[in-house]
Amino acid sequence: MINLKKDISYNFTNSEGRIMDYMDKVNNAIDFIEANITDDIDLNLAARKACCSEYHFLRTFSFLAGIPLSEYIRRRKLTLAAFDLFDGVKVVDVASKYGYSSPEAFARAFKGLHGITPIAARNTDAPLKAYPKITFHLSLSGDGEIDYRIAQKNSYEVCGITIDVPILNEKTNTVITQFWEENIGNGVIGQFHRDIGLEYNICLNAALFNYNKNTFSYMICYEMPSSRVHGEYSVLSVPSFTWAVFSTPEHTSKETTDIIRNMRKRIFMEWFPTSVYKHAGGPEFEIFHNKNDKFVVEIWVPIIKKPMYDLNL
C-alpha cells in the first residue's frame, strides 16, 4: 500500500570521528544544563549546544540515558538539594532555589526520590540517593553497517488504536508489548482487521508521534482504506515527507522488541550525526513484514536536509 515516487538504496558505514564529535556536543549541552540547574532551563538553547533541534535532543537523550531529560533534571535538582539541606540551608530556601512552588511540593518530591523528608536529610547517617552528572562516551558495538534507503511519499492517513506511552526505556517496551497483547486477547485487533477489510494474516503497523518531554503516542495502525474505516478508531494525518527507511535483520517475534530498540538507538546515535539529514519532526512508523514466522521491520523516519551550517559540525 506504499506508493513511492523514489526509492534509492544505500549501504552506510559509521564514522567514529564524527560520532565522537557529536557526543562531545551532547556533553556540551549537559554542561549547559548543569550550569543553569537552578534556573528555568531553556531546552532549545541546550539543544543548540548539541547542534540539533530540541525535538532531536530530547529523543537522543532518552536513548542514551534511558530516562527523559526532564526526569534527569529533576533527579539532579533533588540530589543537589540534599547537599544544601545537609549544609543547613532552610527548606523554604532550597525549595525556592530549585524551582518548587512551595516547601510542601518540594518535600513530596524529595521524599519520593530519597525516601526521607528534607528535615531528616539534615541528620548525619541519613540514607540519601545521589544521581551524578551524566557524561556520555562513545562505545561502538561492532555493528559496522546500517542499511537504509531514501523514499518519498505523498500525504496520507492511517487509522488505528492509540495509547500514550511513558519515555522510560524498559517501561516503554513493557507498555507497548502489553498494549499489543491486550488488544489481541480482547479481539480488538481482529475486529480492526475486519473493519478495514484486511486479511488477518497481514501484519498491522505502528505509528509513534506527539513526542513531548515525558510521553509519546503509539498507534497500532494501518493505512486508511479508500472506502474509509468502519468503527471508532483514531486517525492520524501524515503530511508529505521524505523518509529514511531502515530495515532490521530477519528475526523471531521474541526478538522484535530488542531488535527495534537497538536499531532506533543506532539511527539517532550513529546515522543522524553522520548524515546530511535531520529529523523532520513528523511521526515515525514501524512497518512489520512476516514471512514463515520470521519478521523484518522497516523503521520509517521523516527527514529534511540539514542547513549548510550544520554539515560541517
pLDDT at site 292: 82
For residue 206, list its beta bridge partners. 220, 286
Question: In this structure, is residue 303 part of a structural domain?
Answer: yes
309 burial type by CB count under 10 A (0-12 exposed, 13-18 middle, 19+ buried): exposed
User: 112 and 159: one domain?
Assistant: no
User: 163 and 284: one domain?
Assistant: yes
Q: Copy the grid coordinates of residue 141.
A: 558495538
pLDDT at site 127: 86
Question: In this structure, is residue 158 part of a structural domain?
Answer: yes
pLDDT at site 8: 34
User: 118 and 243: one domain?
Assistant: no
User: 194 and 99: one domain?
Assistant: no
User: 246 and 106: one domain?
Assistant: no
CA distance 15 to 230: 48
Provide the terminal-to-terminal Cα distance of the chain, rounded to the nearest Å: 38
CATH code: domain of residue 98 = 1.10.10.60
User: 226 and 115: one domain?
Assistant: no
CA distance 162 to 244: 24
Question: In this structure, is residue 253 part of a structural domain?
Answer: yes
Question: In this structure, is residue 174 part of a structural domain?
Answer: yes
Strand spans (E) along 224-293: 234-238, 241-247, 277-279, 284-291
Question: In this structure, is residue 194 part of a structural domain?
Answer: yes
Q: Contact 156/223 with Cβ under 8 angstroms? A: yes
pTM listed for this prediction: 0.75
User: 176 and 291: one domain?
Assistant: yes
User: 104 and 241: one domain?
Assistant: no
CA distance 178 to 200: 20
pLDDT digits (tens, 9 = 90+) for 42-97: 999 999 998 888 888 888 888 888 888 999 999 999 999 999 998 899 999 999 99
The percent of residues above 90 in pLDDT, for the chain, comes to 56
Question: In this structure, is residue 242 part of a structural domain?
Answer: yes
Average pLDDT estimate for 188-199: 93
Average pLDDT estimate for 164-187: 90
Question: In this structure, is residue 41 part of a structural domain?
Answer: no
CA distance 136 to 183: 38
Q: Contact 214/71 with Cβ under 8 angstroms? A: yes
Q: What is the DSSP string of 77-134?
A: HHHHHHHHHHTT--HHHHHHHTT-SSHHHHHHHHHHHHSS-TTGGGSTT------PPP
User: 180 and 294: one domain?
Assistant: yes
Average pLDDT estimate for 94-102: 95
Q: Which domain holds residue 181?
A: 145-310
* Residues making up the chain, counted from first to last: 313
Q: Which of the listed ranges 63-72, 183-192, 209-218, 222-231 does the model predict with the highest average pLDDT?
A: 183-192
Question: In this structure, is residue 128 part of a structural domain?
Answer: no
Above 90 in pLDDT, residue 246? yes
**Total of domains in the chain:** 2
pLDDT digits (tens, 9 = 90+) for 7-35: 333 344 445 667 778 788 889 999 999 99
The percent of residues above 70 in pLDDT, for the chain, comes to 88
pLDDT at site 203: 94
User: 153 and 100: one domain?
Assistant: no
pLDDT at site 230: 67
User: 225 and 103: one domain?
Assistant: no
Above 60 in pLDDT, residue 6? no
At 225, give phi and psi (nearest 5°): -70, 155
User: 166 and 102: one domain?
Assistant: no
CA distance 305 to 275: 9
Above 90 in pLDDT, residue 168? no
pLDDT at site 43: 92
CA distance 80 to 248: 42
**Is the pLDDT higher at 139 or at 262?**
262
Average pLDDT estimate for 155-160: 96
Phi/psi-derived region of residue 142, left when phi > 0, alpha when psi is between -120 and 50, beta in every other case:
left
CATH code: domain of residue 210 = 3.20.80.10
Q: Copy the grid coordinates of residue 135.
A: 557524561
